Structure 1
């Protein structure tokens, strides 16, 4: 296993691998790795000859400095897990200065409105930070494919839009959400929950399953009111937003239309820990 801290050394290694006709895959992460990340790595290994995992807690995508400070950093454990997964993996662990230089700031992006709803509405500047770091990683590593989880579905669509806008020759691969036994979507933030909170947080996925069931017969307005009522009565979870949106545009639904696909999105707090989840909805009418 090779661990790269300097982008020049990684670039040289990638160039050599490409000269041998190897397909390069990238799994961008912020560390604190769990089975969800490893499922992305597994898919990348199936589709690529050489897989690179970047581990970098990106400061420009945090609108809350306290959230950046509290974000778990477990590099030694991350490397151990990745070595178990495949000892031939490459790991890229740059410093902020290595990627950003002296000016650690985000570029400004126009993602055609994808960045203005849901997470973008509640986390100021978040997707400018995401776009900046993803673009820089793509420019440094020049992968053929990059793998992103559908748990952060809005991010996935924004990365796809980034490719459309920049023309970078990277295929974006969306990977299914991996869940804990109780249905909670796997996330690094789950480690900040105690046992009781972790079990209570399964309510998010249970709600989404019921939403999928209701979507076949009930209006979007009915479902919106139902979800808000469910969370209002919950003793532990506090709803930040619930939306049913068009899969492609992420625009909030007014009424179902044939030929369109939809997903339901939830962001909620368990104490101070913010969790997100989503589910694809049955669109048969």
Structure 2
């Protein structure tokens, strides 16, 4: 029962999927970040199903790409895109860390957020249209959604936070940090190994891309914000998923040339 409640907490917070709404408490939030990758697995399964359906029905590439591009937004409700937009505004301000954190808390959407979101969707849609949805590639991309969430959860439980309020602080303070970190590290390793088994070169390239984005995320959080926040976590996830897909497409293009 506690396991189901923990999963429900993760899905109710980080997805738009209809799930039971348990009352949050210390017990069912202790390992909520460990259940976060399950949201990615569900999203990955839907991503794979749409790609397979498009191949079976021989649907146009643009229609397939549009579905693959919009599925993450439909499943998550855009919660991570919100963090991406807020962080884009904060980074574009070139202000001190304290002012950047204030911008993250501002409910208004600035010009740079809109510009970066438009740029993101154009690029992501192009990648979704360009990817060859073979079964190994679709499965690797499906697992990438779980990998990005495991990395995000690990960062929240392992690195300093920028403030003692907000979503990241709520989940970090309720978590059993030591055990949660261990579970999330194991999840990352297993997911990375599975991606390598499914596609040795593309899977490895995607994992390396995610690791590089995470390194940049931790460095940015420390130097420009004074720590991690929920908005920064969303910014990281959107960028990790973008560059993992870009790595997959790049590997496929190289394989075609060879």
Structure showing greater Rg? 1
TM-score (normalizing by structure 1): 0.27
TM-score if structure 2 supplies the norm length? Answer: 0.29
Which structure has greater helix proportion? 2
Query: Which has the higher relative contact order, 1 or 2, with Cα contacts under 8 A spaced 6 or more apart?
Result: 2
